[in-house]
């Protein structure tokens, strides 16, 4: 994967930023159509396997990423603050 300037493409939650998924055979077409419509495009790469690897920015086991996603906010807020 190339063309990723930094963590903003991965983690920004700006209201105008969206992540679009496409089958590999159609990714180029999706990017072309977006560009033709004046929509900036950053190709982040593909998915699959048991690791999340992004252009030298990130290399983590998928299980670790899921665990962090599930536990970080409850740990930060304390279990009493989390509604179940």
C-alpha to C-alpha distance for 63 and 50, rounded to whole angstroms:
7
Mean pLDDT across the chain, nearest whole number? 81
DSSP state, residue 1: -
Query: Which tops the pLDDT comparison, 56 or 1?
Result: 56
CA gap 27, 84 in Å, rounded:
39
User: How large is the average pLDDT for residues 45-60?
Assistant: 82
Domain ranges in the chain?
8-81
Q: What confidence tens digit (pLDDT) does each residue in 1-11 have?
A: 456 666 776 77
| C-alpha–C-alpha distance, residues 27 and 45, integer Å | 10
Strand-pair partners of 51: 61
Model pLDDT, residue 82: 47
- Please choose, from the candidates 40, 60, 39, the residue with its C-alpha nearest in 3D space to the C-alpha of residue 51: 60
Task: Write down the pLDDT at residue 36.
Answer: 97
Q: What is the pTM of this model?
A: 0.53
């Amino acid at each position: 994967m190339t063309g990723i300037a930094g963590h903003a493409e991965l983690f920004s939650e700006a209201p105008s930023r969206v992540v679009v998924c496409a089958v590999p055979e159609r990714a180029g077409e999706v990017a072309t159509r977006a560009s033709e419509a004046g929509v900036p495009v950053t190709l982040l790469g593909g998915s699959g396997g048991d690791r999340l690897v992004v252009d030298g920015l990130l290399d983590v086991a998928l299980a670790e990423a899921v665990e962090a996603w599930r536990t970080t906010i409850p740990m930060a807020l304390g279990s009493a603050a989390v509604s179940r």
